[in-house]
Structure 1
Amino acid sequence: MAKPFHLNTPLLESVGMSKRAGTTVYLKMENSQPSGSFKIRGIGHFCQQLAGESKGVVCSSGGNAGMAAAYVARQMNIPATIVVPSSSPQLVLQRLRDQGATVKTVGRVWDDANAEALRLQRTEGLTYVPPFDHPLLWHGHASVIAEVAASLGPGERPGAVLVSVGGGGLLCGVVQGLRDVGWTDVPIVAMETAGADCFNAAVKAGRLVTLDDITSEAKCLGAKTVCKKAFEYSQCSELTIISELVTDQQALHAVETFLDEERVLVEMACGAALAAVYSGLVRRLQDEGRLPALLGPLVVIVCGGSSIDMEQLTHLKHKLQA
């Protein structure tokens, strides 16, 4: 079997977050992956399975999926075309080019870029790499939970797993990973920002919902429709998936607090999961009886993010304080 492209990332205890949550908080540091986020797990696995003899890969992504596809393609010595929406920050475009990818800007939101990627698949014969909606991706992402189980050791299990949701690929991988290690009774707290809340909207409506627009600044959570599998999991009686929202301001505050306390800069999409602890939401869920009062250790998947630097952080602060 070919060696995977992802790393086994550290599981670190956060003293500051543990104090706030009233239980031990472990951070699964996916920000330390070679491409900057968890996406390399699924996309690496997908490309190893399907892109070996390929003329090249094409991926539609305003950030992390594109970075992962570009990194993996460079390692495999095949060309990569990444189609991004115009909302993608310049620093992402530069990082994609630094990985050797051809970058095309099409449309305003991810859905527009994705239509172009599918067109290139048909006309150029490229291997289309989906950013979140494919079983091979979920299989790759499931490895994150296998590593958590190995790090915690026999007999120890999380009280809950906290995860950000965009298109739902990581959520599907986490569910699969929990099933693989026999932890289906561990609740998942699925976090989104208001304005990029396609999963929450679907859970509330009891059916898949397509958002009119992405109004959140957490652009990497910006899919207008969550993948069908993620929605199906939310309706599944053997699983507890708690869908919650935070504001952009709360997500940004989480990013800043995390930078201060843990010395790590992540993007706002990742801040949504961190905000579950920083904003007191976990405590509220306990008060409401939706999480146990005596809660085992929390595992926060620090999904990372390549579309943030200090300049972008300053820009977001000005924009959200205005």
Structure 2
Amino acid sequence: MPQSYIKRILDARIYDLAVETPLDYAPLLCEKTRNKVYLKREDLQPVFSFKLRGAYNKLLKLPKSLRERGVIAASAGNHAQGLAYSARHMGVPATIVMPQTTPAIKVSAVKRHGANVVLHGDTYDEASNLAKQLVKEKALTYIAPYDDPDVIAGQGTVAMELLRQHTSDIHAVFIPVGGGGLCAGMAAYIKYVRPEIKVYAVEPEDAACLKLAIKQKKRAILPQVGIFADGVAVAQIGEENYRVLKNTIDGVITVTTDEICAAIKDIFEDTRSIAEPAGACALAGLKKYAQESGCENETLIAVHSGANTNFDRLRYISERTEIGERREAVLLVTIPEKPGAYLKFCELLGKRNITEFNYRYAGGAKATIFVGLQITPASDDKEALLALLTRQGYGVIDMTDNEMAKLHIRHLVGGHAPATLKDEVVYRFEFPERPGALLKFLTLLANRWNISLFHYRNHGAAYGRVLIGLQVAPLQRPDVEKALKALNYAFWEETNNPAYQQFLASLNQ
């Protein structure tokens, strides 16, 4: 039962290495949510993440004979750094197997902490398989990132500190979930010591493995996992973690990429620290809960779980923040193709700030523009804007939640394809950001079908995002799908996406 973790957590002797992190009051978030908001600052650990707690506690519990042989783990990020840092402190040989897609900043950090780094495969699963093989070959001890009672207990010390730091009323605590180690440890402790406090697990909506397990009443594997918040991008909740969580949490909240980006900005404005996407996940859930529940003047606490992010990612995060804060609407608007049409459109908007305006002449009586507009959050401002444009006779499509439009089209608007272009199909891809990956991708496709459109942006993440158009005769479409599946990259067909149809497709297609 979850209460069995209380003694484990109380017995965790980790504070000669881990630090007791502060519980910071967040005044700007208080004003924004109309509640008393606090952030548990796990980004202030020596490795900038809570993962140090569980890794070190596990090493402390290992028999000396096993420590002397050495330990191994598979990790693309924070667990690797936590284990490497702990192992160096204890003089334990450590090997970390990391995917070749792991950002250089994380590989360098693990090496700096003294671990032997082995780069293998494109995904965590491939790295994990090699790590388990090396366990057998070299008699090493595998240190799991989350599905282990000693790791869970180490992470649970976050809750022990939190309740000691804030002894008055707490309405709810929000905790990020990937494999579930942090949430299981914290939820077990909170519900045993102060059961009146609500505990909410927060996941990205494109990596919601706990929500799936709760819905199906058993652990299940997600067919596809979004990788933006890589620290919580897990396809299946841990077995022990689920056993604890199904009896201790009050609910699961899922959040979008845009909402996470907005939470990163919120944390920066209140603390001047830059959270990694997984680190801001809990705050995104807190904000969503406050808005949807309508609660006011309650004490809400979110765990800021980590700050290990690539500097290069900040431009992408900033780009998505306005939408995540509900401060920007992205629209496709059809206007007359005649002198004065732009002026009339802008006059209709009044003093509303235009954040983006894309257009390319394509002939005909009407033009479609791609426009970003600032709106007032937490109101029906966007709906009022859409209604206004419709009443004035403009054709309008809301693209605010269209991933293809936000990732690619806003950077691609340049006009429709010529009428001579036939049989174009469009796909959106995610593939591992590593040397040779793009070449492999292009080699498979370009030798068989003509590439008619291509857009790629490096977001400083482990995965690249590509929009590609191919000329494929109708009878060859099954062959394309078969070839794309053989690549083993995540992909979506976007040929019918209105953003593509309105801005890029051949008008005669």
Give yes or no for TM over 0.5: yes
Deviations 1:149-200 (A, max 9, x none): 21113xx1321111110000011111222145x2123111211112221111
1:3 shift after superposition: 5.4
Q: Distance in 2 between matches of 1:70 and 1:51?
A: 18
Q: Among 5, 8, 29, which residue is 1:17 paired with?
A: 29
Q: Could you tell me which residue of structure 1 aligns to residue 44 of structure 2?
A: 32
Q: Among 149, 152, 169, which residue is 2:181 paired with?
A: 169
Q: Could you tell me which residue of structure 2 aligns to residue 45 of structure 1?
A: 57
Q: Could you tell me which residue of structure 2 aligns to residue 150 of structure 1?
A: 164
Q: Distance in 2 between matches of 1:315 and 1:126?
A: 40
Q: Among 269, 276, 279, which residue is 2:278 paired with?
A: 269
The within-5 A match list for 1:52-91 is 52-53=64-65, 54=67, 55-91=69-105
1:309 shift after superposition: 3.5
Q: Could you tell me which residue of structure 2 aligns to residue 299 of structure 1?
A: 301
Q: Give the AA of the match of 1:29.
A: R
Contact 1:41 1:140 in 2 (8 A): yes
Sort the Cα spacing of 1:152 and 1:318 in 2 relative to 1 into closer, same or farther, 3 A: closer
Sort the Cα spacing of 1:203 and 1:268 in 2 relative to 1 into closer, same or farther, 3 A: same
Sort the Cα spacing of 1:316 and 1:123 in 2 relative to 1 into closer, same or farther, 3 A: farther
Q: Distance in 2 between matches of 1:227 and 1:148?
A: 24
Contact 1:194 1:216 in 2 (8 A): no
Q: Distance in 1 between matches of 2:109 and 2:39?
A: 26
Q: Secondary structure at the match of 1:88?
A: coil
Q: Secondary structure at the match of 1:142?
A: helix
Q: Give the AA of the match of 2:290.
A: R
Q: Could you tell me which residue of structure 2 aligns to residue 194 of structure 1?
A: 205
Q: Secondary structure at the match of 1:214?
A: coil
Q: Could you tell me which residue of structure 1 aligns to residue 130 of structure 2?
A: 116
Q: Distance in 1 between matches of 2:148 and 2:14?
A: 21
Q: Could you tell me which residue of structure 2 aligns to residue 314 of structure 1?
A: 315
Q: Distance in 2 between matches of 1:209 and 1:123?
A: 30
Q: Distance in 2 between matches of 1:167 and 1:269?
A: 12
Q: Give the AA of the match of 2:276.
A: E
1:261 shift after superposition: 3.0
Contact 2:175 2:202 in 1 (8 A): yes
Percent identity over the alignment is: 26
Is 2:128 aligned against 1:105? no
Q: Give the AA of the match of 2:279.
A: C
Sort the Cα spacing of 1:15 and 1:52 in 2 relative to 1 into closer, same or farther, 3 A: farther
1:317 shift after superposition: 5.1
Q: Could you tell me which residue of structure 1 aligns to residue 215 of structure 2?
A: 204
Q: Among 141, 159, 171, which residue is 1:127 paired with?
A: 141
Q: Among 276, 281, 293, which residue is 1:286 paired with?
A: 293
Sort the Cα spacing of 1:176 and 1:110 in 2 relative to 1 into closer, same or farther, 3 A: same
64-73 or 77-86, which deviates more: 77-86
Sort the Cα spacing of 1:87 and 1:254 in 2 relative to 1 into closer, same or farther, 3 A: farther
Q: Could you tell me which residue of structure 2 aligns to residue 258 of structure 1?
A: 267
Q: Could you tell me which residue of structure 2 aligns to residue 184 of structure 1?
A: 195
Q: Distance in 2 between matches of 1:174 and 1:296?
A: 20
Contact 1:85 1:108 in 2 (8 A): yes
Q: Give the AA of the match of 2:293.
A: Q
Q: Distance in 2 between matches of 1:112 and 1:40?
A: 24
Q: Distance in 2 between matches of 1:160 and 1:90?
A: 37
Q: Could you tell me which residue of structure 2 aligns to residue 290 of structure 1?
A: none
Higher RCO structure, 1 or 2 (CA under 8 Å, sep 6+): 1
Q: Distance in 2 between matches of 1:218 and 1:157?
A: 31
82-91 or 93-102, which deviates more: 82-91
Contact 2:33 2:291 in 1 (8 A): no
Q: Distance in 2 between matches of 1:109 and 1:148?
A: 34
Contact 2:52 2:79 in 1 (8 A): yes
Q: Distance in 2 between matches of 1:176 and 1:215?
A: 28
Contact 1:251 1:271 in 2 (8 A): yes
Q: Distance in 2 between matches of 1:125 and 1:203?
A: 36
Deviations 1:11-42 (A, max 9, x none): 11000111222221111100001111111111
Sort the Cα spacing of 1:163 and 1:3 in 2 relative to 1 into closer, same or farther, 3 A: closer
Contact 2:260 2:281 in 1 (8 A): yes
Sort the Cα spacing of 1:318 and 1:11 in 2 relative to 1 into closer, same or farther, 3 A: closer
Sort the Cα spacing of 1:3 and 1:66 in 2 relative to 1 into closer, same or farther, 3 A: closer
Contact 2:80 2:96 in 1 (8 A): yes
Gaps of 5+ in 2: 1-10, 321-402, 408-509
1:315 shift after superposition: 5.0
How many residues were matched structurally?
A: 309
Gaps of 5+ in 1: 288-292
Q: Give the AA of the match of 1:297.
A: T
1:285 shift after superposition: 4.0
Sort the Cα spacing of 1:86 and 1:252 in 2 relative to 1 into closer, same or farther, 3 A: farther
Q: Distance in 2 between matches of 1:11 and 1:62?
A: 28
TM-score, normalising length: structure 2: 0.57
Q: Over the residues paired in the alignment, what is the CA RMSD in angstroms? A: 2.1
Q: Secondary structure at the match of 1:244?
A: strand
**Greater strand share, 1 or 2?**
2
Q: Give the AA of the match of 1:13.
A: Y
